[in-house]
Structure 1
Amino acid sequence: MDALSRLIRLARLRGSVDVRCLVAGRHTLDNPEAGTGQAPFHLLLSGACVLELPGRRIEVAAGDMVLLPRGVAHRMHVRGRRAASGVERRDAGPYALITDATSVEDARGRDEEENGGQDAPVDLFCGHYTWEAGPGQVLMDMLPDVVHVSLESGTDAELPCAGGLETLGPLSGLMRGEARRAAPGAEAVLDALCDVLLTLALRGTPGLGRTLWLASAQDVVRTVTEAVLGDPAHDWRIEEFARLNSMSRATFIRHFARETGMNPGDFLTRLRMLLAADMLTRTDDPVAVVAAAVGYASESAFGRAFRLTTGDTPARLRRAARAPR
């Protein structure tokens, strides 16, 4: 199993669609701060929007996905030449549907003349990912505040794992079809498609900086990730990582920091804590056994590293993961 697939499975993230917005004209969706263990996302299939965050505005184009790992409160502004009228929100089965007086499903894709001079409706899916206490939070903490990717950018020679038109087209068609029919099982299908979207987003696209480490096209990060996941108990040193990449120590550190935004030691600790959190929530192994499995001879040293990385102690994390819900 490749490193990205293993990390996503370790995190045990679950996605769901909350809202679908089909609105022709200016409209604003207010999104309050997400709860603990939640990260909102937006997938824009057609139209144009602006994401407003504290002190920042991001242009969102058709084919873009935005993930907010910190769950910060934000607004999504639907662009249009005139304000949308008659906007209503109603239950549509597994999600809420927001439409206006002029937006109908078969109007999507018409040009301005065919649409009577009106704005063509946006098709925006809004949802969230959830995770229980443990590895999911560690993974989310390793991501930037905003993950903004274009899933319609086509493949890139330097990033062979990137998604593209051939991926988003069928995926968006499935999402629209399930949303429109609302047949039995539609919610499960949409949730599964959200999981696919997350993997595509975390693959990254060129220029995203810290997101790229999850599926780096450069061997330097991928080699380190696979080595640590394969043998987390090994006494890894920067010099050894550099040798694995046939680099000098200084060159390796420079490349690694540019791709991840982290120094190798911090990255190593986070990967180990992700694995430790998985063991603590999935097994009954004593903390000392978990510590040794991820490279710590001292249970106290492991506990300090775990608290610094997760903000919790191993014992409290284990109790929280097993508490009745």
Structure 2
Amino acid sequence: MVQAFLVGVLPYLPLYGGRSMLRRLNNCRHRSKGPPMDPLSQVISHLRPHDCVAAGLDAGGAWSIRFQRHAGLKCNAVLKGQCWLVVEGCDPIGLDEGDCVILPHGRSFVMSAERLRHGRDAETVYTPVSHGGTAMLGGGGDFFMIGSRFMVSGLPADRLLRTLPPVMHIRAGPERAFLQWALDGIASELRAPRIGGAVSIAHLSHLVLVQALRHYLSGPGVPGTGWLAALADGRLRIAIGAIHDDPARDWSVAELGALAGLSRTAFATRFAQMVGASPMAYLAQWRMCLAADQLAQGSQPVARIGQVVGYASESAFAAAFKRVTGQTPRQYRRASKALPV
């Protein structure tokens, strides 16, 4: 029971400042016989979400708002009424009560009561509202939405964002009870501000991201190629999970193919088509993601970090790291010191 509890909470510990605890629990987990973390949890556990801001929108009548290009991820959820979402370069999407959307690439977009591509500038609507407040438009009463924006940093975050589509639409449904609970919690904080509200909203927003990614991955809208598509493929997910659980192992394509229940050739072809990289290239990328996190967060010697992710010498590790990231390990460590933890 204890192991099951730890596996369940591990993805959320970094969101609450428990990164050192996460590392200790990860070490314990690898020494135990319990199940490993799944690939999505492992990636999320290395994200460094920060600078979260959130606000509500209470709108009425024929309202329309245009949001300019933005940094970070935006997440909007409709708690009352319906609206249209038009993201730059995408077809209009109708949002119903309970729907949630994540916009990971910073494109401009319009949200409106009607199917419009123009609207009032969002800054004029939200500027009078502080973090945790609610903006009013058109007298309110017809529509209520909560929106949050936060940054993620680090190499794993960069790799994850590249795989996401410009719009992730998660429809309402009874199987999304936990996601709805988190959204309702944010709405409650926005409607009745209380002490500690800012940190509560930030943590709930991070949980919304985790749950939205989970539901998006299990839904019908996952793209046919890319990392998320590979995780939706039951056979490839097994192989990717093995890579993530033991990145230092000297994996061969044949071994990974056997785990996936495929021949070496069939597995290599399927993996490259779905992921967009060969199995060995993906292994190298994941090793560098883990190494980058250690370089940014810890003070271990570069050679030791290289050994942990599967390289016998510091020079081999440094060459591989620069090949993937464009920087030496020491350059990356220095640059990362300026980033939020």
Please tell me the TM-score bracket, short chain as reference: 0.7 to 0.9
Match of 2:104 in 1: 69
Instruction: Pick the aligned partner of 2:201 from 145, 167, 190.
Output: 190
Task: Indicate whether 1:19 and 2:74 are aligned.
Answer: no
Match of 1:232 in 2: 247
Match of 2:114 in 1: 80
Gaps of 5+ in 2: 1-6, 8-36
2:165 & 2:247 partners in 1: Cα distance?
A: 27
Moved more, 179-188 or 260-269: 260-269
2:193 & 2:207 partners in 1: Cα distance?
A: 20
Match of 1:160 in 2: none
Return closer, same or farther for 1:58/1:260 CA change in 2, 3 Å cut-off.
Answer: farther
Paired residue total = 293
Task: Indicate whether 1:40 and 2:74 are aligned.
Answer: yes
Match of 1:49 in 2: 84
Task: Indicate whether 1:139 and 2:160 are aligned.
Answer: yes
1:84 & 1:283 partners in 2: Cα distance?
A: 46
Render the CA deviation track for 1:119-174: whole Å, top value 9, x for unaligned. Answer: x32x2333222234444334334x2242503152454xxxxxxxx2x234333322
Return closer, same or farther for 1:17/1:184 CA change in 2, 3 Å cut-off.
Answer: same
2:282 & 2:261 partners in 1: Cα distance?
A: 19
Instruction: Pick the aligned partner of 2:301 from 283, 286, 296.
Output: 286
Secondary structure of the structure 2 residue equivalent to 1:188 = helix
Judge conservation of contact 2:92–2:115 (CA < 8 Å) in 1: no
Match of 1:97 in 2: 134
Judge conservation of contact 1:220–1:255 (CA < 8 Å) in 2: no
Render the CA deviation track for 1:30-53: whole Å, top value 9, x for unaligned. Answer: 22342xxx3333333341222322
1:60 & 1:311 partners in 2: Cα distance?
A: 41
Letter in 1 for 2:66: L
Match of 2:93 in 1: 59
Match of 1:150 in 2: 170
Normalising to structure 2: TM-score of the pair?
Answer: 0.73
Secondary structure of the structure 1 residue equivalent to 2:148 = strand
- Pick 1 or 2: higher relative contact order, CA cutoff 8 A, min separation 6: 1
Letter in 1 for 2:45: R
The Cα shift of 1:74 comes to: 0.7
1:139 & 1:77 partners in 2: Cα distance?
A: 26
1:2-17 counterparts in 2 under 5 A?
A: 2-3=37-38, 4-14=40-50, 16-17=52-53
Moved more, 40-49 or 236-245: 40-49
2:148 & 2:226 partners in 1: Cα distance?
A: 20
Moved more, 175-184 or 242-251: 242-251
Match of 1:207 in 2: 221
Gaps of 5+ in 1: 105-119, 156-163
What's the % identity of the aligned pairs?
26
Match of 1:296 in 2: 311
Superposed CA RMSD in Å reads: 3.2
Q: Give the structure with the larger helix fraction.
A: 2
Judge conservation of contact 2:110–2:119 (CA < 8 Å) in 1: no
The Cα shift of 1:182 comes to: 0.8
The Cα shift of 1:212 comes to: 6.7
Judge conservation of contact 1:239–1:249 (CA < 8 Å) in 2: yes
Normalising to structure 1: TM-score of the pair?
Answer: 0.76
1:13 & 1:243 partners in 2: Cα distance?
A: 36
Moved more, 176-185 or 16-25: 16-25
Letter in 1 for 2:191: R
1:57 & 1:299 partners in 2: Cα distance?
A: 49
2:238 & 2:145 partners in 1: Cα distance?
A: 37
The Cα shift of 1:242 comes to: 0.5
2:51 & 2:44 partners in 1: Cα distance?
A: 12
Letter in 1 for 2:150: Y
Judge conservation of contact 1:11–1:137 (CA < 8 Å) in 2: no
Judge conservation of contact 2:133–2:191 (CA < 8 Å) in 1: no
Secondary structure of the structure 1 residue equivalent to 2:46 = helix
